[in-house]
Amino acid sequence: MSKATDAVYHVALRGESILTHPRWNKGTAFTEQERKDFGLIGRLPSRINTIDEQCARAWDQLVSQDSDIQKNAFLQSLKEQNWVLYYELLRRNLRELMPIVYTPTEADAIANYSHLFRRPSEGLYLTFTDKDSMEQDFLEVTQGREIDLIVCSDAEAILGIGDQGVGISSAKSVIYTLIGRMNPSKSLAVALDVGTDNEKLLDDPLYVGWPHKRVRGEEYDSFIDKFVELVRKHYPHSLLHFEDFGVGNAQRLLELYRSKHAVFNDDVQGTGAVTLAAVMSATGVTKSRLSEQRYVIFGAGSAGLGIARQLRDAIVKIDGLSHEEATKLFYLIDKHGLIKQSLGPDKIRAQVADFVRKEDEWNGDEVKLYDVVKKVKPTVLVGCSTQGGAFTEEIVREMAKGTERPIILPLSNPSRLVEVDPTKANEWTDGKALLATGSPFPPAKMPNGKDYVIAECNNALIYPGLGLGTVLSRSREMTDTMILAGARRLASLAPALKDPDDALLPDFADSPDVNFEVTVAVAEQAIEEGTAGVDWSKDEVRKRAQEVIWLPEYGTYVYDLQGEK
């Protein structure tokens, strides 16, 4: 592992410029020598603090904030001042602070982006009206930087809260550093502002984005294409991560670009991968195979379809069923009920065509979730519908009649949109349900009085590893088999495999080590299948993965006009 503490950095910034640069600022931790060399003596109070003392001070200030959203804003401003302190504070308190910087609080931060706005987030804003100067604007922000990872969003479907216009979220790139231990200088968050159809934002005089209806169709496509081409031209080896695009674009853009560049759609592929790992873990508990399950997926949008495809492909690959046989195990439900032939093309998106059920199996127009559960007797029920409370007591109890250990994964975020509160699902199934949720929830009580830990089945548990494995192996593509390798590695680390009463997935406190393993698995697979741009042995993959780890430690600075800025 790299030891930043021993690292010596040559830095070309002095005085105010180094104190206001979040990558280089150490605040009161600048040493005596550094204060002399960088012109800081008169700019800092005399006492030199350790990182421990700085963390203690920042923690006291953090806990004095009244609400989670204020804590989120405090941490955001800490990030703008001092990356090492920010990431170290989060690293030390990962479990407690993840829900503040990420889901669920991040949903509120994005929804209130314009009102909480103090200064632009570090990152790049590309607005439709400035499309002609896009390359210049892109280079203005990126020039001279080595960038491995670009996280972009057009904010049309932010978690389950819908269209948020220009609410740039650096939360997803923060996770690459926090959990993936990636150097934050090497990632870039990009807001693609193509307008918004959110009337509340359009009517809000304080809205900071482009107050215009969303651009769609060819104009939208050519804007996105221009951006992707810039990424390909200037950062051909980068990973381009798409986040929270609308359902009409997520899968479509992924298919359009995935053979040309290493692109990744987190909501489709990351969610598919983490859910596969959760189901593998749960079927480990029930000692059954993936191909022996009956799957009901409630909400057939980006996440639902990604999950269905990922599970289906794993069944083919691992259990050897044919594509058709595996597809038949799935029942997808969207807002018009079960996806079946009679709904017709208006109500069935092209992407779900594979999963359309035959009409002769079903009567009636719109078949509701309860009726599907009653007839199909699913063993696995997944929620990604944005419909809080949709898995009612009646539905959960009906499911429990048809299977001994119902696997119930209500994945919609943020917390208030969860399809069923896991405590309730546990109660209604007498502690039999195997549960994981998209947002963090407290443990439920088992009938024997023990806690049942609710695993967090959130794509953040795996996407940093999927991304870093792709970047590390210099792959031009993130293939389905690379993703499958990452999901299988994650599943192999599930606590429930050791103790069936334990959580279905590893805790977020362990997520850095878990993602390290995923990174290694993805890179190994890329090398084995020939997608990688390197040819390393397994030992070397592990060694290289360790070498690129970035830790939030200051190191020693030497003032050097030729140094880094």
Q: Token digits for 481?
A: 């088999």
How wide is the angle at C-alpha 151 spanned by C-alphas 175 and 348, nearest 5°? 105
Q: How far is the CB of 349 from ligand NAD (least distance, A)?
A: 7
Nearer to ligand NAD among residue 76 and residue 459 (C-beta): 459
Catalytic residue among 26, 71, 79, 172: 172
At 168, is the secondary structure helix, strand, or coil? coil
The span from the CA of 393 to the CA of 428, in Å, is 7
| Shortest spacing between CB 463 and Mg ion, in angstroms | 9
Active site residue: 87, 102, 207, 463, which one?
102
Strands 380-383 and 295-298: parallel
The binding track of 307-336 with respect to ligand NAD, each residue x by CB under 6 A or -, is --------------------------xxx-
436 binds ligand LMR (CB under 6 A): no
In the bound state with ligand LMR, the residue whose beta carbon lies nearer, of 275 and 413, is: 413
Among positions 367-426, residues that touch ligand NAD (CB under 6 A) are 384-387, 411-413, 417
Active site residue 172: yes
Find the shortest distance in angstroms from Cβ 428 to ligand NAD: 20
Interaction of residue 267 with ligand LMR, rule CB under 6 A: yes
| Distance in angstroms (rounded) separating the CA atoms of residues 491 and 485 | 10
Question: Taking contact as CB under 5 A, which single stretch among the options 56-64, 73-81, 94-102, 238-246 is the one that binds Mg ion?
Answer: 238-246
> How many Å apart are CA 407 and CA 426, to the nearest integer?
11
Nearest Cα neighbor of 273 from 419, 485, 50, 95 is 485
Q: Does 413 bind ligand LMR (CB under 6 A)?
A: yes
Q: Between 386 and 511, whose beta carbon lies closer to ligand NAD?
A: 386
The packing angle between helices 463-472 and 480-492, to 10°, is 130
Q: How far apart are CA 149 and CA 432, in angstroms?
A: 41
Q: Yes or no: say if 554 and 83 are a contact pair by the CB < 8 Å rule.
A: no
Alpha helices in 205-359 (DSSP H): 217-234, 250-257, 271-285, 302-314, 323-327
Residue 169 vs 387, nearer CB to ligand NAD:
387
Radius of gyration for the chain, computed over Cα atoms and rounded to the nearest angstrom: 24
Q: For residue 251, state whether it binds ligand LMR (rule: CB under 6 A).
A: no
* Residue 408 binds which entry of ligand LMR, Mg ion, ligand NAD, none, CB below 5-8 Å type-dependent: none
Q: Does 173 bind ligand LMR (CB under 6 A)?
A: no
- For 480, other C-beta atoms within 10 Å of its C-beta total 17
Strands (E), 102-232: 124-127, 149-153, 187-193
Annotated catalytic sites, by residue? 102, 172
> Which residues lie near Mg ion (CB under 5 A)?
244, 267
> Which residues lie near ligand NAD (CB under 6 A)?
157, 159-160, 247, 267, 271, 274, 298-304, 333-335, 384-387, 411-413, 417, 438, 457-459
